[in-house]
């Protein structure tokens, strides 16, 4: 009698993550094309329009990269936490908390130097994201509470808090009853690099380089990998695994909070329920597709930003913008399934009865 076992491959292709993404993207485009055909649309025309309106000009490229910025920053935060084999499902709430902390800092303190003010506001957004994940991190390291559940639940808490603020104490009296806080002053808007591209994208590039160094080149990154790999190995190496996990979660939450701060100062300019458009959830897809690699997160996040912009503008053709969401989701499934076969092999073994 034969049976089948799943065994991890000893040697894997260094480019397997990249190949998996390409396969996943092909699956996503194929399924998206089938849906468009069912709707009576020409897939070539639709995808050509999406491409042209997302990367066909300086204006469209800058819009796509602005949309990618919070995805990349939140994805980098998720990847740091995953270094210790933990998951952060609360990036969405941390983005909102970053915006809330920034706005609180803005209305509470007056700083005459606009450049210094921007730096302090973004720092407060980072701290806000760290505060948002503080309780889930403490619950994990002290009591072993599942971080997936706690970080997810905090999304609802923080979003509910946001709704309270923009409908209550922070509500803009000039918003025509729209639930939103008062706009921040133009003196703290993030300047643009070219076109509409915000300096937030430069921050994004710097954070990508910083996270890459932290994870791959620093002693701290090595300790994170050891802590996530084996508790016994960490103890033998004299590494406090719980401490490293706690710090990693604070940094990861802080980067998601920074994403909210950058989005506020560059795009929305105020706290509202539309501060994050699902960036925290999409960032999980971006990080998972790339195997938590910082450079991959940067590249795939940029692609997803363009895909989001393209998905929005094709509504002018009468095509639902949700086609972009379908492509994103199916790309994830295709990439994960492909990565499984790159990483594992199925062996047929005989068994005596």
Model confidence pLDDT, tens digit, residues 156-186 = 999 999 999 999 999 999 888 889 999 999 9
Q: Please tell me the pTM assigned to this model.
A: 0.91
Tell me what the mean pLDDT of segment 279-293 comes to. Answer: 91
Confidence of residue 245 (pLDDT cuts 50, 70, 90): very high
Average pLDDT over the chain reads 90
Percent of the chain residues past pLDDT 90, beyond the cut: 61
Instruction: Decide if 324 contacts 308 (C-beta within 8 A).
Output: yes
| pLDDT above 60: residue 204 | yes
Tell me what the mean pLDDT of segment 326-337 comes to. Answer: 84
Q: Where are the alpha helices (DSSP H) in the chain?
A: 16-38, 43-55, 58-82, 91-108, 114-143, 147-167, 200-212, 219-229, 231-236, 241-263, 279-289, 294-313, 322-343
Q: Where are the beta strands (DSSP E) in the chain?
A: 2-8, 192-194, 197-198, 344-350
Instruction: Please give the pLDDT value at position 326.
Output: 84
Dihedral sign for Cα 82, 86, 92, 97, please. negative
Percent of the chain residues past pLDDT 70, beyond the cut: 96
Neighbours of 94 (CB within 10 A): 35
Confidence of residue 136 (pLDDT cuts 50, 70, 90): very high
Instruction: Decide if 124 contacts 261 (C-beta within 8 A).
Output: yes
Tell me what the mean pLDDT of segment 5-32 comes to. Answer: 81
Instruction: Please give the pLDDT value at position 250.
Output: 98
Where is pLDDT greater, at 326 or 124?
124
Tell me what the mean pLDDT of segment 288-311 comes to. Answer: 89
Relative to beta strand 344-350, strand 197-198 is unpaired
User: At a CB cut-off of 8 Å and minimum separation 6, what does 150 contact?
Assistant: 90, 135, 136, 139, 140
Confidence of residue 237 (pLDDT cuts 50, 70, 90): confident
| pLDDT above 70: residue 117 | yes
Confidence of residue 11 (pLDDT cuts 50, 70, 90): low
**What is d(CA 225, CA 287) in angstroms, rounded to the nearest whole number?**
17
**What is d(CA 290, CA 249) in angstroms, rounded to the nearest whole number?**
20
- pLDDT tens digit string along 34-81? 988 988 888 888 888 888 888 888 889 999 999 999 999 999 999 999
- Farthest CA pair distance, the chain: 82
Relative to beta strand 2-8, strand 192-194 is unpaired
């Amino acid at each position: 009698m034969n049976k089948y076992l799943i065994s991890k491959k000893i040697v894997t292709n260094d480019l397997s993550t990249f190949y998996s993404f390409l396969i996943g993207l092909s699956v996503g485009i194929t399924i998206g094309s089938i849906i468009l055909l069912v709707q009576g649309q020409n897939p070539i025309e639709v995808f050509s329009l999406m491409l042209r309106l997302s990367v066909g000009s300086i204006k469209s490229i800058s819009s796509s990269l602005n949309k990618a910025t919070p995805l990349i920053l939140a994805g980098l935060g998720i990847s740091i936490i995953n270094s210790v084999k933990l998951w952060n499902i609360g990036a969405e709430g941390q983005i909102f908390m970053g915006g809330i902390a920034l706005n609180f800092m803005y209305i509470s303190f007056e700083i005459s130097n606009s450049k210094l003010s921007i730096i302090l506001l973004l720092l407060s957004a980072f701290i806000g994201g760290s505060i948002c994940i503080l309780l889930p991190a403490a619950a994990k390291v002290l009591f072993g509470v599942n971080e997936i559940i706690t970080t997810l639940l905090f999304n609802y808490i923080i979003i509910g808090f946001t709704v309270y603020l923009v409908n209550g104490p922070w509500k803009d009296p000039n918003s025509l009853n729209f639930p939103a806080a008062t706009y921040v002053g133009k003196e703290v808007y993030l300047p643009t690099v070219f076109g509409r591209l915000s300096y937030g994208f430069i921050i994004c590039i710097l954070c990508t380089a910083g996270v890459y160094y932290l994870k791959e080149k620093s002693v701290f990154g090595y300790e994170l990998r050891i802590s996530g790999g084996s508790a016994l190995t960490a103890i033998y190496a004299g590494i406090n695994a719980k401490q490293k996990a706690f710090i990693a979660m604070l940094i990861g939450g802080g980067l998601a909070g920074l994403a909210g701060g950058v989005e506020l100062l560059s795009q929305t300019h105020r706290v509202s329920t539309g501060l994050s458009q699902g960036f925290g959830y999409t960032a999980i897809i971006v990080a998972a597709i790339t195997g938590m690699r910082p450079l991959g997160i940067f590249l795939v996040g940029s692609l997803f930003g363009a895909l989001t912009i393209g998905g929005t503008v094709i509504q002018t053709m009468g095509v639902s913008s949700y086609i972009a969401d379908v492509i994103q989701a199916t790309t994830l499934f295709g990439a994960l399934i492909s990565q499984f076969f790159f990483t594992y092999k199925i062996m047929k073994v005989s068994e005596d009865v």
